[in-house]
Amino acid sequence: MIVGGGVAGWLAAATLARLLKPTFCSVSLIESPLQTDGAFSAIALPSFHRLNSLLGIDESDLLRRTCGVFSLGAQFADWGRVGDRYFHTFGSIGTKLDAVPFHHYWLKLRSGNDSAIEDYSTASAAARVGRFAPPTSERTSFLSSYSYGYHFHAGLLAAYLREYAADHGVTRIEGNVADVHLRAQGGFVDSLQLNDGSHISADLYVDCAGPAGLLFQRVLNSGYENWSQWLPCDRAVSVLCAGARELAPCSRATAQRSGWSWQTPLQHYSDCGQVYSSRFTTDDAATTMLLADLPATALEEPRRLQWSPGAGQAKSDHSEMLP
């Protein structure tokens, strides 16, 4: 039983259905009919290729149906100080010389050399000029030295995975979990009570409810370790706007006084947002700044998201959280 839809919930459902198969067990997912929070885009690292292979997903079909684009990495601006630029590349930088990693040579010759280390990355060089090509399978070619990820429209990706999961036997239950009943012995989850009064039981529960942490934090009282002293950002606001004529094969993250902003290109769209700390600015101020700095016309109303940075703590009597 999976609680919560969205990309996380339907990704879990699709994977479990593919691996376990309906002949061995049944997989169900409880999804709220009003679940529309979160960012408009989802960024996948190169490791997503393994998921495509596992699920048997055709890459071209996936990109076409999710407004997806290829990504060679992420551009970071102003993080060390204003004017700094760094490109996090999806691939190797340089090549080994006599079995010595390239960065050792770059560091030794850096004195008097203004070139950045990412200048020696094929992926970052291609991203800088807005170009993309799949890496070659010829291992001796420098065009095999990089990989790539994806940018997806989050809602379309969730719908794609929902369809895949349904085709593989996953049952969707529309509703909201109103209460969680625990077993008297051991404290494990016994059943979930929906807002219509019905009860659902399962052998395994997976919590994909997002920041609410429905099962583990609120109901099981597993404790929570607050990390806000190290991670002060606890809010985000995002908006979908018209896309650029030419797609950039990378996302951008720019440091700001109260947090940082992002731009994620999609087919026909661009997801723009602000991550910020409520201790240093207000929701309205962050939204105003976002809308004033958009590269194109906003297409939807901004979405807001809030969370408490930290991690759950398991108590000794709940050390085996899922039966």
pLDDT band with cut points at 50, 70 and 90 for residue 33: confident
pLDDT band with cut points at 50, 70 and 90 for residue 127: very high
In this prediction the pTM is 0.86
Beta strands in 188-302 (DSSP E): 189-194, 199-200, 206-207, 224-226, 235-242, 251-256, 259-265, 269-276
pLDDT at residue 208 greater than cutoff 90: no
pLDDT at residue 260 greater than cutoff 80: yes
DSSP-based three-state secondary structure for 263: strand
Region 208-216 average pLDDT? 64
pLDDT of residue 112: 66
pLDDT of residue 247: 83
pLDDT of residue 147: 92
Region 93-121 average pLDDT? 82
Percent of all residues in the chain with a pLDDT value above 70, rounded to a whole number: 89
Region 78-98 average pLDDT? 88
pLDDT at residue 311 greater than cutoff 70: yes
Predicted confidence (pLDDT) per residue in 145-167, tens digit: 889 999 999 999 999 999 999 99
The rounded distance, in Å, linking the Cα atoms of 184 and 180 is 13
CA angle 250, 240, 126 (to 5 degrees): 10
As a whole number of angstroms, the longest Cα–Cα distance in the chain is: 72
pLDDT band with cut points at 50, 70 and 90 for residue 321: very low
pLDDT band with cut points at 50, 70 and 90 for residue 219: low
CATH topology of domain 2-68+151-226: FAD/NAD(P)-binding domain (3.50.50)
The rounded distance, in Å, linking the Cα atoms of 99 and 85 is 29
**Residue ranges covered by each domain of the chain:** 2-68+151-226
CB 171 within 8 A of CB 291: no
pLDDT band with cut points at 50, 70 and 90 for residue 214: low
Region 286-299 average pLDDT? 91
pLDDT of residue 211: 64
Adjacency order of strands within the sheet including 199-200: 177-182, 189-194, 199-200
Lowest mean pLDDT among 8-17, 18-27, 220-229, 243-252: 220-229
Average pLDDT, the chain: 86
Residue 181: how many CA atoms within 13 Å on its side-chain side? Answer: 11
Torsion sign across C-alpha atoms 173, 175, 176, 180: negative
Cα–Cα distances (Å) from 205 to 26, 200, 270, in that order, read: 12, 11, 35
